[in-house]
Amino acid sequence: MADAQENAPVFNIQRMYLKDLSLEQPNSPQILLEQQQPQVDINLGVSAETVADGVYEVCVTATVTTKVGDRTLFLIEAKQAGIFELRNLGDQTQAILGIACPGMVYPYLRAIVSDVCTRAGFPPVLLTEINFQAMFEAQQQQLAAQGNGGDAPSLN
């Protein structure tokens, strides 16, 4: 009976936290007088690394660059992270780290980016929903094409 419990699949959320956050307005206050519509560029990234045996940190990073012409209106870089315990999940571990965990972390990141925009005096930037499964599968295909099908939990 004890062996069955020791080998039972484990998936626990240990903690969610804001790992890094920065806001820059390098051309304020002059650029705030511009009447042009700003261009918004959003880049997202996901990474996972082993913290301890069976414990992983999964980070979702957003970089939001807003420009008027060639000048930066504001730049937000935010990294939301979670610590997850995953044990006895076999081949599913990588998929859980690349799909389920980022899906749990991402809503926190969306709220933070929106809140920082508002607190900086701008309309909120609303990050769209992300299909982490499609993102993970595309990444796996890219790794397979490169002949690098390793077991490392890095999802960069």
> What pLDDT, on a 0 to 100 scale, did the predictor assign at position 84?
97
> What pLDDT, on a 0 to 100 scale, did the predictor assign at position 14?
96
What's the pTM?
0.84
Angle between helices 132-145 and 101-119 (to 10 degrees): 120
Judge whether 24 and 55 are in contact, CB under 8 Å. no
- Domain 9-122 superfamily per CATH: SecB-like (3.10.420.10)
User: pLDDT digits over 102-145, tens only?
Assistant: 999 999 999 999 999 999 999 899 999 999 999 999 888 888 88
CA-to-CA separations, 99 to 12, 28, 156, in angstroms, rounded? 15, 38, 13
pLDDT tops 80 at residue 3: no
CA-to-CA separations, 147 to 93, 140, 142, in angstroms, rounded? 20, 10, 9
In the chain, domain spans: 9-122
User: pLDDT digits over 53-104, tens only?
Assistant: 999 999 999 999 999 999 999 999 999 999 999 999 888 999 999 999 999 9
DSSP state of 26: T
